[in-house]
Amino acid sequence: MEMNVSNTDEQVVAKKKGGLNPAIVIPILLVIGIAIFLFVCGNPSNFTADPRIDGVASVAFADIESKELHPHGLGMVYMGGFIVPILITFMIVVIVFAIERAFVLSKAAGNGSVDNFVLKIRSLLNQNKVDEALEECDRQQGSVGNVVKEGLTTYKALAKDTTLDKEQKMAALNKAIEEATTLEMPMLEKNMMILSTLGTVATLVALLGTVIGMIRAFAALGGGGGTPDAAALSIGISEALINTALGIGTSAVAIILYNFFTSKIDGLTYKIDEISMSIQQSFAEFH
């Protein structure tokens, strides 16, 4: 009993250590997002001085806000205003955690095909070859293999137990499999909430930027004693559209990736449930 508790504790610790820590990673990515906004999108090479203005020979960082400068390329993104670095950070966060989830789920799937592993385990259980099934779990080295190995280990222990009746053994076996599954699921689902949240929040933040841009555009229409400020009007409209584009793009990518990874997790969960049922049926048949 003490050995089982120790193993369980080690597994829980392992799960807590798995994956990226959002509290540390997201602030770092925010700094990177701001740096990209200021030094990449806001680079003077992304702005062209108006040749019609005498004395403007070059563009410096201090001149970027001038109405005589024409943004191009990434300079258009810079003109989106102070909401843009937040949206850039959102996109980077989505990319980083998507890569992290892809790596974790690939590792969780283990070596080789999960479908072949499931078929092999079911075939061995039908022949009551528990030791050979355990060897397959060691070779698989994934979340499915971990759950199956825990179930089979309990299977062997209960098969030799003479103090419990069959119904009690089945209940103990089912409990062991459920506990093993519970330990594996947090690792699979960790950080998925970030993708889900950004799928919604990115659009709302972009909407804020869009509204701010439109406020500036309408303010330009009413300024100058009845004469619209064309430069300020174009900047306001650009700010609104750039924020909209970045927000919708980030939200779309986050939602697509969230649904993709959710389907992967559901697939692994289904495989675990499939083998768990086979383990219980095998135990009921042979013991």
The 10s digit of each residue's pLDDT in 54-97 is: 444 555 555 565 555 778 788 888 888 899 999 999 999 999 99
As to burial, measured by CB atoms within 10 angstroms (0-12 exposed, 13-18 middle, 19+ buried), residue 272 is buried
Bridge partners, 266 (sequence order): none
Query: Could you identify the residue written with the tokens 């990518």?
Result: 253
pLDDT of residue 5: 39
Alpha-carbon span 51 to 101, nearest angstrom: 50
Q: Which long-range contacts (CB under 8 A, 24 or more apart) does 186-191 make?
A: 186/15, 187/15, 187/18, 187/19, 187/104, 187/108, 187/143, 188/104, 188/105, 188/108, 188/143, 188/265, 188/268, 188/269, 189/265, 190/18, 190/19, 190/104, 191/19, 191/20, 191/22, 191/97, 191/100, 191/101
pLDDT of residue 16: 44
Alpha-carbon span 105 to 261, nearest angstrom: 8
Say how many C-beta atoms besides its own lie within 10 A of residue 15's C-beta.
17
Residue 91, CB-side half-sphere exposure with 13 Å CA sphere: 20
pLDDT of residue 208: 94
Domain ranges in the chain are: 2-41+79-286
Q: Is the pTM of this model over 0.85?
A: no
Which of 253, 198, 200 is CA-nearest to residue 22?
Answer: 198
pLDDT of residue 13: 40
8 A C-beta contact, residue 246 and residue 206: yes
pLDDT < 70 positions in the chain: 1-18, 50-68, 222-229, 287
pLDDT of residue 63: 57
Output phi, psi for 163, to 5 deg: -95, -15
Alpha-carbon span 260 to 41, nearest angstrom: 31
